[in-house]
Amino acid sequence: MELRSSFSLGLTGGIGSGKTTIANMFGELGASLIDTDLIAHQLTIPNGIAINAVRQQFGNEFIQPDGAMDRAKMRELVFAEPSAKAKLEQILHPLIRQETKKAAGQAVGSYLIFIVPLLVESGNWKEKVSRILVVDCPEQVQIQRVMARNGLSQDQVLAIMRNQASRQQRLAAADDVIVNQGDLQAIREQVAGLHHQYCQLAQASVKNHP
C-alpha cells in the first residue's frame, strides 16, 4: 500500500475572494478538498450529529420540525449572549475537528486542501498545515461579488468583513498568493502551476517520512 504524503495545504481568503472557485480548480486537478464550513454546516442539518447535543443544551425550541437547528433563532441568541455562543462552540468545535479528521483519513487525492475561511483568525491551523495559500482580491471586488451572490447591501458585507482578518493580516500569513481578479483562464494557469509544485512537495514528504 502506498504511504500517504504528510503534505497538506490550508486555503483561505476573505468572503467573496474566490476560495470556492479556486479550490474547485485544484479539485479538478486531483487534490482532495476538505471544506470546514461545509462540515460545520452539516453538523446541524436534519439528523446532523450535533442536533442531540444542541437540543439538550438549548431546548427543543432551537430545533425545527424538520430536525435541523433553527439557525436564525440561534444566531439571535448567540449575538445577544456571549455565554450561549461559548456553549454552542463547545458543542460544535470538537465535532468539527472530529469530522475534519475523519474526512482527511478518507481522502484519496494527491494531497489534502483544507478550505478554512477563518484560518488566520482561528485556532492552530497554521501549525496543522504544511503551507498556506491565500486567495486575494481588492476589497471593493469582494464587496461587489458578495452583494451580487448573496443579495446583501454594501453595509451588510462590510459588517461581515469587519469580523474577518484584514487583507494585510491574511497576506502576512501566506506562503502563496493567488490574486483572483479578472480572467479565470489566467487564474486557472496559476492554479495549475501551484498544483504542480504541491504535487512535488507531496512526493518529497512521502520520501522524507517513510
> Which contiguous run of DSSP H or E holds residue 26?
helix 19-29
Selection from 107, 125, 126 nearest residue 4 by Cα: 107
Q: Among residues 5 and 13, whose Cβ is nearest to ligand ADP?
A: 13
Q: Among residues 56 and 166, whose Cβ is nearest to ligand ADP?
A: 166
Going by the DSSP 8-state scheme, the letter that residue 69 receives in this structure is B
Please state the separation of Cα 183 from the chain's center in Å: 24
Q: Among residues 20 and 32, whose Cβ is nearest to ligand ADP?
A: 20
- Cβ 174 to ligand ADP, closest distance in Å? 15
Selection from 32, 30, 50, 26 nearest residue 40 by Cα: 50
Q: Within 10 Å of residue 60's Cβ, how many Cβ atoms?
A: 7
Please state the separation of Cα 108 from the chain's center in Å: 19
Q: Within 10 Å of residue 92's Cβ, how many Cβ atoms?
A: 18
Q: By the 8 A CB rule, do 14 and 146 touch? A: no
Q: Among residues 29 and 206, whose Cβ is nearest to ligand ADP?
A: 29
- Cβ 141 to ligand ADP, closest distance in Å? 8
Q: Among residues 21 and 110, whose Cβ is nearest to ligand ADP?
A: 21
- Cβ 134 to ligand ADP, closest distance in Å? 11
Q: Among residues 8 and 20, whose Cβ is nearest to ligand ADP?
A: 20
CA distance linking residue 196 with residue 42, whole number of Å: 32
Q: End-to-end CA distance of the chain, in Å?
A: 12
- Given the rule CB under 6 A, which residues bind ligand ADP? 13, 15-21, 145, 149, 180-181, 184, 187
CA distance linking residue 23 with residue 31, whole number of Å: 9
